[in-house]
Amino acid sequence: MPVSGTAKSQDLASADALLTLKDLTLRFKGQTNDVVHSVSLRVRQGEVLCVVGESGCGKSVTSMAIMGLLPGKATQISSGKLSFLAQDWDLATDCLPTEVRGREIAMIFQEPMTSLNPSFRIGDQIAEAVQRRRGNSRTEALERAEVMLQRVGIANPKQRLRAYPHQLSGGMRQRVMIAMALANDPQILIADEPTTALDVTIQAQILDLIRDLRDETGMGTLMITHDLGVVAEVADTVAVMYGGQVVEQGPVAEIFNNPQHPYTIGLMSAMPRLDRPGERLAIVPGTVPTISNMPEGCRFRTRCAFATAACAQRPKLRDVASEHEVACHFAPLETHVKVSA
Amino acid sequence: MLHFLMRRVLIALPTIILISIFVFALQKLLPGDPLLVLAGEERDPEVLEFLREKYRLNDPIPVQYLAWIGNALQGDLGTSLRSNQPVTELMAEKLPVTIQLAVMSMIFALVIGIPAGILSAVKKGTVTDYVANVVALSGLSIPNFWLGIMLILLVSVKWQLLPASGYVPLSEDFWQSLRTMVMPAFVLGTALAATLMRHTRSAMLGVLSADYVRTARAKGLSERVVILKHSFRNALTPIVTLTALLFGELIAGAVLTEQIFTIPGFGKLVVDAVFNRDYAVVQGIVLVTAVGFIFMNLLADMMYFVLNPRLRGQ
Ligand SMILES: Nc1ncnc2c1ncn2[C@@H]1O[C@H](COP(=O)(O)OP(=O)(O)OP(=O)(O)O)[C@@H](O)[C@H]1O
Ligand code: SF4
Ligand SMILES: [Mg+2]
């Protein structure tokens, strides 16, 4: 299978991590099980990390925890260390300060139609982000907003500054969100399914845009998606999540050509063809148990064709190849299959 | 928007006419003869007949009504049977009093109700929220006359801080005018504050979980800006609408409160007029307050357009 970005990810394999998340575990108050359990992620400079997994596996919750956007009263973070900008934050006790949020790390959301404030002009919404961060005057901030609109490919940026969100299409609104997120030249962009709500041609444009901006600025990107077509197109590394855990991660070529976790293998065989992007996965047989019904041990047990009694023990993530980690007792599978045969 | 407003005005007209017919008819059905009030000790049938002719009380009721509404449309609401003053003049005297009371009450209501509503929405489920709701509920259930009397007893009689009653026009003595008005305004205002607080709270709760509020936080804006600018601005529509309607109600008269504090506003005027069978005055007031109320409704509708960029310019 042709996968882009392979060469690049090899080049960057040694590059320093820009942001690392270690051992994030959290639950919502009143629930009996962790929604996200011991998740670790790493984003490097100039690199796109794609987080994939079925709906409800905790992708958005993980990214919001990084941004400090989860409702404090309703969330209980029991562990999680965030390293970023040569600083560490213990997410269990504090979160990213507002000076960092929106400046060094920015986020765009799954819902372009509702993520802009309907009451304010988009120029002011972008300018506001700039002004807070750089201490610019309003005029300077608006000039910056205009430059950003131009950069994300919006025609007539000067007039568009005065538009209200309802006057723009979904694709345009997502571009505005991207312009807003990138207005302060962040080092990290978190994009939570930035194209899911858009139609196919617009999807491709937005992905191209993110990739171009990445190349231009060297920012690291954490991209969440359902869509393996998107992964093949933009990812350098991939983290596969299932039931609030990372079950496999590694360079994109490894994940596509040599998947090791039974869940990833299921995803791959269920993968839509690249010439028909936009199709969802989730064709792995069976359904995800709800958080409260997650089995002990390996959370994939209820759907796994390879499951044995050993799987009642929780498998740890471990290396099967360089940079390629899998959380399954029987990985690497070939070895195991050979041994048992 | 102009089109929309025209339609609203066209709907409002029949409403006003209906109200005026209703009030007119009801007055005629009430027992008691206004002429006996007017004529006083004089019971000479000829005098009574003369007065009857003068006030056209012998005409059929529909004719009387048409004559009245015809004059009203020309700005003549008739004369008071009792004081012989033109009704418009009587009302022009009382209107500033009522408006001053309404404005001051509204200020109390807004200054207390909106911050309390925002606070209890932001602190939903905490002690603060709980206390705010209990206070609001008490505010709604304590009758105005009781609160008024208690305030007079405490503030005026016991502590002698404010005058218990009376009215001084603003133009005569600004501070004294405020001092006489502050207690009744507080009584009326707190009751409205409770209503406003509950509406503000629910509007804010609807907005606080919106995606664009999350975006505002992701931008790194301070919590103050996130709540007071990005959230409150979107919760404003129902609050402004409600304020306009409540203001309309205040104009229509706070009968009890005006009685307790002996404030010579619309409320007092209308009560006296009803007891005296002073038809012209009652009808005039009802007509004017109904128009005022409908106007506030229109204003509320207009604000709806002004506040929503999506509807503006349509
Ligand atoms: N505020 C919340 N309170 C309680 N449960 C929540 C809350 N937010 C999310 N959840 C639950 O947490 C789990 C993970 O949700 P999350 O939004 O992270 O999924 P996702 O992987 O982003 O899915 P999707 O692909 O549909 O966006 C889900 O079961 C969801 O119902
Ligand atoms: S640990 Fe067991 S249940 Fe889990 S994926 Fe591996 S084989 Fe399947
Ligand atoms: Mg999501």
In terms of domains, do B149 and B207 share one?
yes
* B contacts of A164 (beta carbons < 8 Å): 309-310
Q: pLDDT (tens digit, 9 = 90+) per residue, A297-341?
A: 999 999 988 888 999 999 999 998 888 999 999 877 666 554 443
Query: How much of chain B is helix, strand and coil, in % rounded to 5?
Result: 75, 0, 25
In terms of domains, do B114 and B199 share one?
yes
Task: Establish if B251 belongs to a structural domain.
Answer: yes
Which parts of A35-151 fold into alpha helices (H)? Answer: 59-67, 122-134, 138-151
The pTM score is 0.84
Distance CA B257, CA B102 (A): 12
In terms of domains, do B174 and B48 share one?
no
In what order do the strands lie in the sheet containing A188-192? A105-108, A188-192, A220-225, A48-52, A237-242, A245-251, A324-326, A318-321
Using CA coordinates, name the residue in chain B closest to A66: B218
CB pairs under 8 A between A and B: 68
> Would you call the peptide bond into A332 cis, given omega within 30 degrees of 0 as the criterion?
yes
Angle between helices A170-182 and A200-217 (to 10 degrees): 10
Which parts of A25-114 fold into alpha helices (H)? Answer: 59-67
In terms of domains, do B262 and B140 share one?
yes
* B contacts of A177 (beta carbons < 8 Å): 215
Residue B171 Cα, gap to closest chain A Cα (Å): 41
Q: Which helix (H) or strand (E) holds A248?
A: strand A245-251
In terms of domains, do B102 and B69 share one?
no
In A, what residues contact B, Cβ < 8 A? 67, 69, 73, 98-103, 106-107, 109, 111, 114-120, 128-129, 132-133, 164, 166, 177, 180-181
C-alpha closest to that of B80 among B264, B272, B281, B270: B281
Task: Establish if B82 belongs to a structural domain.
Answer: no
Q: Which of A73, A132, A166 sits opposite B221 (nearest CB)?
A: A132
Distance CA A331, CA A310 (A): 13
Q: Return the ligand number nearest the Cα of A288.
A: 1
In terms of domains, do B219 and B280 share one?
yes
Range of B259's domain?
Answer: 88-312
B73, B103, B131 — which closes off a domain? B73
Chain A contact probe: residue of B123, B219, B305, B310 with most A CBs at under 10 A: B219
In terms of domains, do B33 and B174 share one?
no
* A contacts of B221 (beta carbons < 8 Å): 98, 102, 128, 132
In terms of domains, do B60 and B115 share one?
no
Domain range summary for chain A, segments of one domain joined by +: 113-185, 260-336
In terms of domains, do B153 and B34 share one?
no
Q: What is the pLDDT along chain B (314 residues), one digit of tens a residue?
A: 778 778 888 888 888 888 888 888 877 777 666 666 666 666 777 877 877 777 777 778 888 888 888 888 888 888 887 788 899 998 888 888 989 999 999 999 999 999 999 999 999 989 999 999 898 888 888 888 888 888 888 988 888 888 888 888 888 888 999 999 999 999 999 989 999 999 999 999 999 999 999 999 999 999 999 999 999 999 999 999 899 989 988 887 677 888 888 888 888 888 888 888 888 888 888 888 888 888 888 888 888 888 888 877 65
CB distance A239 to A58 below 8 Å? no
Task: Establish if B115 belongs to a structural domain.
Answer: yes
Angle between helices B266-275 and B279-307 (to 10 degrees): 150
How many angstroms is it from A337 CA to the middle of ligand 1? Answer: 36
Q: pLDDT (tens digit, 9 = 90+) per residue, A199-247?
A: 888 888 888 888 888 888 889 999 999 888 889 989 999 999 999 999 9
B73, B97, B130 — which closes off a domain? B73
Task: Establish if B80 belongs to a structural domain.
Answer: no
Q: Which helix (H) or strand (E) holds A324?
A: strand A324-326
How many angstroms is it from A328 CA to the middle of ligand 2? Answer: 5
Chain B contact probe: residue of A105, A111, A113, A119 with most B CBs at under 10 A: A119
Task: Establish if B79 belongs to a structural domain.
Answer: no
- How large is the ipTM? 0.85
Q: Which of B214, B216, B309 sits opposite A166 (nearest CB)?
A: B309
